[in-house]
A and B are shown apart, each in its own frame.
Chain A
Amino acid sequence: MNAETLKVLSVMTVFLPCLASFVAFAMYSVGFREQRDGARARHRLGAIIVCALLLLSAISALIMAVGYHQTGEVVHVFLADWFQSGGLQVAWQLRIDSLSVLMLALVSFIAAWICVYSLGYMRKDETMLRFFCYMALFTFSMQLLVSADNALMLFVGWEGVGLCSYLLIGYDHDRAAANNAAMKAFVVNRVGDFSFILGLILLAVLYGSLDMDVLLGVRPSLTFIEVAGYRLDGLSLACALLFVGAMAKSAQWGLHIWLADAMEGPTPVSALIHAATMVTAGVFMIARLSPIFASDALILDIMVVVGGLTALLASLCAAVQYDIKRTIAWSTCSQLGYMVVALGLSAWSAALFHLVTHAFFKALLFLGAGSVIYALHHQQDMRQMGGLAKQMPATCSAMWIGCIALAGLPFFSGYYSKDMIIELAWGGQNVVASFGFACLFLAAIATAYYSMRMMLMTFHLPASQQESTDIARESPMVMMMPMMVLALFAVMAGAWWRDWFVGDNIAFWGNSLAPHKALMDKLLDGVPAEWLPLPVVVSVLSMQVALLMYGFYGNVWHTLRTWVASGHGLLQRGWGMDQLYKVSIIAFVRGLARESASTIEKDMIDGLGPDGVAHTVQRFARRVALWHDGRLFVYAFMMIAAAVVFVLWRGAAWSLFSLPP
């Protein structure tokens, strides 16, 4: 495929969703005030158009991905100038290389199928088109993000997906909970952006440009900079700043608090944004800028630690949730930790591999959960479910596939990608990598446990509320189809593509990723063969534990629960991080803001400033006015007194300083 074709296809892939979003917006606003039956038909038609356009975008992305092998070079698609100022020049330009081709295909493919699913899921929604408009806009932003040819344009996509996430979490904007969650997601992400934008500015200062070619090329000669009197290595600082940005977007521990609440959004949103695509943007960004990160050992170690902690702590939270979506959300958080550990081990392509397989099986799990929630009329509490396997066999099997892939049982996609990362950590052979390994290994146990627990509570335990689960019916075809497609990939993606990411075809990545340290090859034969199945074994064991607890020995669970009741509560609230922030940072800033608004603003700035001055002048004027009371005597006295003072003063001046009169 030649460069021209690639250009056309990439523009189609990126801008068709943009067009879709415009179409949806236009159709939504036209005749908004009419309350006729036509409105519903219009919404439906608009949604179908959006799906068609997204599918078209996905098709062109797939053609591009298949055809790209034969080119293998970097293609720049210039669209327009953005701005230039000082020495900095920024253009709207797409970058087509191995990494962006992969991501474009992944994003558009999953987005298209999830939109098809939404046709069914959102069927009863009055303002369905609004939903599709946001979804298309999201896809567009995500594609800008992954195909940006300069870091500032990447930031455009970065903020665009954040905005769409905000709009979609708060989609049901009559509900306070949805609004709160949306606000929280946006603001926490802005905390990351604060750091991210400073990182970008620092890169611009160091490299004099934000173009990917420059950033991925030669390192700047002079990287020392001065911040607050300290001489720092500019690149390390930039990496650290960018990583904090990635931590917010990819929900790493400390800035992860928004993700579980984001489940207030409709389920397809959770599948697309908070599982398959947006939350992986941080991982993508680090992979994209891997040549910069690769050089900095310290930040890589920090990544391993942060990622490992995230994977472990979040997986424990997942193990005790009762809300089916929150279970999967914590699981996502935990899996993102795996990817970050892989990045920290400079195994860029292994991180991307898990990103891809995770996108399929996690989207599948969310869609399955959505199917259940849809069938139960928006019941999300797993304690109210149970026994659904009979009524919803297809959904049940799809979820099983997702769960097995997640738990990493052999030959499902997660087996290849997740175990790979655990092996890598094992092979790292230093303290940090060992810490990462321990976290990931324990997290894998918890993962298998909560997957099993979720399946049992939802589908296989006897229904606790017979009458409420009786209403459940299998979802319509339009929802089942996307699930089947994703299920296929959840099973096969690992086996099919393993070679491209971590095997013989790894040359595919060319220069789009930093060179992998010899680490990868070393460990592939470094781990003793008899240890390789260990993660699988412990996962299976851990599933047995779940079976025991929920299946046969209910009493065991109860005894245990009284034991760990306190810990359980803490875990359910995500280790109490929300509470911690609320009583510390948020309370502090809010208090400061209140003080500013009341005390400083009113009493000090106004009180000592204009109002204070005005009052003083007024008081003084009133005093003075007392003398002007119309009595001639006072006036005469004043006049004489003034004259005396004047004469005395001039006279004194005359004699003392010999000033001319």
Chain B
Amino acid sequence: MTFVDFPILSALIFFPLVSAVLIMVTLGQPERVALNSRYLAFWGAGGHALLALALLFVFDAEKQGYQFVENVLWFAPFGIRYHLGVDGISLGLVLLTSGLTLAALMCSGGLTHRVKEYMAAFMVLECFVTGALLSLDLVPFYIFFEGVLLPMFFIIGVWGGKERVYASLKFFLYTLAGSLLMFVALVVLYHETGSTDIILIERAGVEPSLQMLLWLAFFASFAVKLPIWPFHSWLPLAHVEAPAAGSMMLAGILLKLGAYGFIRFSLPLFPDASVYFAPFMYALSVIAIIYASMVAWQQEDMKRLIAYSSVAHMGYVTLGIFSFTVQGLQGAMMQMISHGLLSAALFMGIGFLYHRVGSRDFAVYGGVARVLPLFSVAMMVYTLGSVALPGTSGFVGEFMVLHGLWTAQHSTWAVAAASGVVLSAVYMLVFYRRIFFGKQGDKVATLAPLTWTERSLLVIFATLVVLLGLMPMLYLDTLQGSSAQMAPLLDTLRAKAGGA
């Protein structure tokens, strides 16, 4: 086997799974098992990260199309193929998955309850997410995409807070309901085109009249996942009840799968329907930005606030995708990566506080800035990123999305969406102020100092946020090939939409 033939994508997907299997078969004294499963999980996530870095290294950013393609017949009767490939759009998200899984594991140091199963769940999660990002056939994609629900269901349901059972059920059933429609659409697609391979389907094209229904079915699934207003109500609850590491994965990566679905499937497979429904998407996105921001402002629970802010931020992502411009698409990708870092970092920070104080209520806090300066500075950086202050990663994405939207002559939507500039400042500053400034809460004065793990995580996230803000080309460069490849499609879509 030469270097080129090494199935790096399969390795990426199944390395964590192997680690999960190994974790499940560890036996012995409970403490030993806990320790060993921790080690194994780190091996799994670390290996995944190394492979992802290697992939980044050998990835040719300027080349169009999918790279490192693996394509074998898997289920012969239906011609379903095990078809993998990576391009700029999936690469960044795979890297994000790697990084956040590692960070989530590092944040779980204090866990004592069922460590073995917890670690295994995270490994399975990483495997499924990577699989969903790399699959180019709808059937494997669907399996991975749905599979993601299972480990997350357990992470919330077993290691969550007081209302974890309700939260996890709502999360599971809601997302499942959306996905089932996608499954039906998948069957129809196979029936119509005789294939489930997205490249083949795109080449064959789908009847425009059929596209509408199929688009809506896919929409149901992605809209719940993303989530798009008004399908978001599972999200705040799931976040509030999930353990910190779970929230990090949920906000950081799982939400991105919905947006990824729109880019990878809805746009190329159903171009006519995408154009037809674009105004509908604009409306929902803008409502999400304004509405979720206002709801976020009124929250008393820190995690709920950040959860709602995610809904608002995802509004920019969908706006960017459906602006049908390269800027908009790149902006949406940038916004996804940025939000992946920021929301994960914010949930992580809240986790540190919750771990020490045992409450997520703003009322308990206040004056933390006097006690934990490094923590306060790092959280300030994340807050500013969320506010999209220029110089942080949040700004570049938002600006590109708005610019793309206006370029496509949707200035009214751009103006409406830009109101997020004011609203995000309101809720994020309220968030920061109530925790860090003001009268010191009772338990705040005696907060335990940060551990070195926590410190380094805080610094790493803050550095990444600023670095991507100052030099976004580090990421945007990896999108070159994909953008060039998507450009003709986007131009056609824009022409169909009647824009310039």
Contact = CB atoms under 8 A, between A and B. Distances in A.
B100 to A, nearest CB: 23
A463 to B, nearest CB: 35
16 contacts: A29-B373, A81-B471, A86-B325, A166-B429, A170-B437, A173-B437, A174-B370, A179-B438, A190-B425, A202-B406, A205-B406, A597-B295, A597-B299, A605-B232, A610-B174, A610-B234
Contacts of B294: 589, 592-593, 596-597
Interface in A580-622: 589, 592-594, 596-597, 600-601, 604-606, 609-611, 614
Contacts of B298: 593-594, 596-597
Interface of A: 25, 28-29, 32-33, 80-86, 88, 92, 152, 155-156, 159-160, 163, 166, 170, 173-174, 176, 179, 183, 186-187, 190-191, 193-194, 197-198, 201-202, 204-205, 225-228, 589, 592-594, 596-597, 600-601, 604-606, 609-611, 614
A159 B400 contact: no
Smallest CB-CB A-B distances: 4 pairs: A593-B294, A86-B327, A597-B298, A173-B437
Interface stretch (B211-219, B257-265, B409-417): B409-417
Nearest to B232: A605
B291 interface: yes
A220 to B, nearest CB: 14
Interface string B171-182: 001100000000
B421 A190 contact: yes
Interface stretch (B34-42, B132-140, B389-397): B389-397
Nearest to B366: A174
A231 to B, nearest CB: 12
B412 A228 contact: yes
Interface of B: 170, 173-174, 230-234, 291, 294-295, 297-299, 325-327, 330-331, 367, 369-370, 373-374, 377, 384, 389-391, 396, 399-400, 402-404, 406-407, 409, 411-412, 414-415, 418-419, 421-422, 425-426, 429-430, 433, 436-440, 449, 470-473, 476
Contacts of B327: 85-86, 88
Contacts of B230: 604-605, 609
B421 A601 contact: no
A601 B436 CA distance: 28
Nearest to B392: A159
A173 B324 CA distance: 45
Contact of B233 (A155, A198, A606): A606
A139 B332 CA distance: 33
A86 B326 contact: yes
A205 B331 contact: no
B233 A605 contact: yes
Nearest to A614: B173
Nearest to B427: A593
A407 B236 CA distance: 58
Given A193-B421, A610-B173, A593 B297 contact: yes
Contact of B421 (A92, A160, A197, A226): A197
A176 B326 contact: no
A600 to B, nearest CB: 8
Nearest to A225: B411
Contacts of A32: 373-374
A350 B264 CA distance: 57
B418 A198 contact: yes
Given A82-B471, A85-B326, A597-B294, 18 more contacts: A28-B373, A29-B377, A32-B374, A80-B471, A81-B473, A82-B472, A85-B403, A173-B438, A174-B370, A179-B437, A179-B438, A183-B433, A187-B429, A193-B422, A205-B403, A205-B407, A596-B298, A600-B291
Contacts of A33: 449
A152 B418 contact: no
Contact of A198 (B373, B377, B415, B449): B415
Contacts of A156: 390-391
Contacts of A594: 298
B12 to A, nearest CB: 28
B165 to A, nearest CB: 14
Nearest to B400: A85
A460 B391 CA distance: 49
B411 A226 contact: yes
B367 A174 contact: yes
A417 B53 CA distance: 61
B295 A84 contact: no
A600 B327 CA distance: 34
A85 B402 contact: no
A214 to B, nearest CB: 15
A82 B404 CA distance: 17
Nearest to A232: B411
A267 to B, nearest CB: 21
B439 A204 contact: no
Nearest to B471: A80
Contacts of B426: 187, 190
A86 B476 contact: no
Contacts of B409: 225-226
Contacts of B231: 609
